[in-house]
Chain A
């Protein structure tokens, strides 16, 4: 019974984390047709910025609860700055180029940003465990569980709903959906596609940075964390279907529970659980669960 509870909670927690890192990737692909490998670097930047900011914050000796406000501000500011810099600085010159070529472009960006991170923060590890320990434990079904982890689940749900609300209910979001459906017609109808692209890219980046920021207190922040994340995020969006936001949520749940089950039942296969899910899904639906059928062009 304890094991069952642990699987349920860990699966949910891991799924929430995966959703946070994968949803930005799928959003950017859905709107801009760019599979953004640099997403992993954005995640790493989030983690580093969070570690630095919290280091300064704790040195100042302010009340601990404010740390979460700092994390929020840092995620927004860093995400918007990095996202806009990359979009305005590089990507906008390459719109309309081949999708695969854009993978190479973002791969190049990933390499550049990875080294930029190393040059700014060095190669040593950073630790900021305080926010993780702040809330302490709560007992669920006899199992003590970190409240911070449950907060991440809540955050993922809130942000997921907010993103849905933005896309479905706001004016900007509806215009974005129109651009997804047909870029040229939307432009002809007077939608500023350039602005939609810049906004979407910034939002997607903010999600990646948030993923890094909330993870920073749980891990030692070291070079290389971005690469691991991008591979996992790929698996999630492939399962869900590239470009689909509900797909990212379902994909994250599949992958999260697959991993939680293997961690508790067959730890040796932890790594394969996610890829096994991916392989099974692709065998049944070659382009993911939520992928729209597309015609073949002659």
Chain B
């Protein structure tokens, strides 16, 4: 398994912040893509965190959707439009879900974890599809949001949403980097490597797994909330297993190296998807699947391993 060096993490995040400032000068369609990719990228980071502990979550979209729907329902049904309140609610809801599911799922590993997380996310999908009052498969739109009482006008709203997303994404990455260097974060790789030895050393693998599940849930909930804010719309596809599969794909591509790799990976995926859906709407999944197979066959440690390998050489 690849060794990870987290001392470089702040550097990576600084680069990310720089890129996001550059994003301000991009054409608006590309910047919007970048913005939604950051939201999804947070979920991909969550998936790759769990992968370090050997847990492949095939249903991370669950927390993504919970975050999105928390924002959407509070804004559209309860009339709360303050963005900070809404995003806090998104994180709280998904974290609570992460705690409950973490208690159940932290005893499972490998294939069972993958399968059960998938099943749970599909239960939520089924629920949302059946909920006519939430627009079933169409989802629903979210009214425009406000900042501590200030509602940005239509002209500046995209800028404001972009800044909010960028700042929160960088902060979330910093928090994740802090978590990675903490005890519970460092132990993740040991859980994947050998649990029983970890127990002999006095650590509790279940607790380590539980913490990573909750951290990933919180990140994904924030991502879902940011997406709901950015697009002004939520729908059940957020928790469909094809969405979750995309996150797993990105995390796999990115390897377990860093927090920035999944962010970049998800942006590239969104970019490719944008064009592929235009050119060949019915072959998009096929391309994705083929690339996935290629990566698994040729680059078992992910794209990031190319960077790591060069550095070592």
CB within 8 Å of B: which residues of A? 35, 90, 93-94, 99-101, 103-105, 107-112, 114-116, 118-119, 123, 227, 231, 234-235, 238, 242, 271-272, 275, 278, 282, 286-287, 296-298
Contact = CB atoms under 8 A, between A and B. Distances in A.
Contacts of B58: 103, 107
Contacts of B110: 99-100
Nearest to B248: A104
Contact of A112 (B111, B130, B289): B289
B56 A104 contact: yes
B282 A119 contact: yes
Given A234-B118, A238-B119, A115 B127 contact: no
A242 B115 CA distance: 11
7 contacts: A35-B111, A115-B285, A115-B286, A231-B118, A271-B126, A282-B116, A287-B112
A114 B282 CA distance: 9
Contact of A111 (B116, B196, B197, B289): B289
Interface secondary structure of B, over-half rule: helix
B290 to A, nearest CB: 6
A271 B119 CA distance: 12
A277 to B, nearest CB: 12
Contacts of B179: none
A247 B196 CA distance: 29
A107 B246 CA distance: 10
A112 B241 contact: no
Contacts of B123: 271-272, 275
Given A100-B56, A119-B283, A275-B123, A35 B197 contact: no
B292 A104 contact: yes
B194 interface: yes
Contact of B196 (A103, A115, A238, A298): A298
Interface in B287-310: 288-290, 292-293, 296-297, 300
Contacts of B292: 104, 107-108, 111
B54 to A, nearest CB: 8
B111 A90 contact: no
A111 B126 contact: no
Contacts of A297: 196
B293 to A, nearest CB: 5
Contacts of A109: 289, 293
A105 B284 contact: no
B252 interface: yes
Contact of A103 (B56, B119, B242, B286): B56
B285 A94 contact: no
A231 B122 contact: yes
Contacts of B296: 94, 101, 104-105, 108
B245 interface: yes
Interface in B47-88: 54, 56, 58
Nearest to A276: B123
A271 B131 CA distance: 12
A103 B241 CA distance: 13
A114 B245 CA distance: 14
Contact of A231 (B54, B56, B119, B197): B119
Nearest to B130: A271
Contacts of B178: none
B207 interface: no
Contacts of A94: 296-297
A31 to B, nearest CB: 15
Nearest to A109: B289
Contact of A286 (B108, B248, B283): B108
A99 B54 CA distance: 11
A93 B294 CA distance: 12
Nearest to B125: A231
A116 B196 CA distance: 44
B83 to A, nearest CB: 33
A238 B283 contact: no
Interface in B80-134: 107-108, 110-112, 114-116, 118-119, 122-123, 126-127, 130
A12 to B, nearest CB: 24
Nearest to A223: B282
A118 B283 CA distance: 8
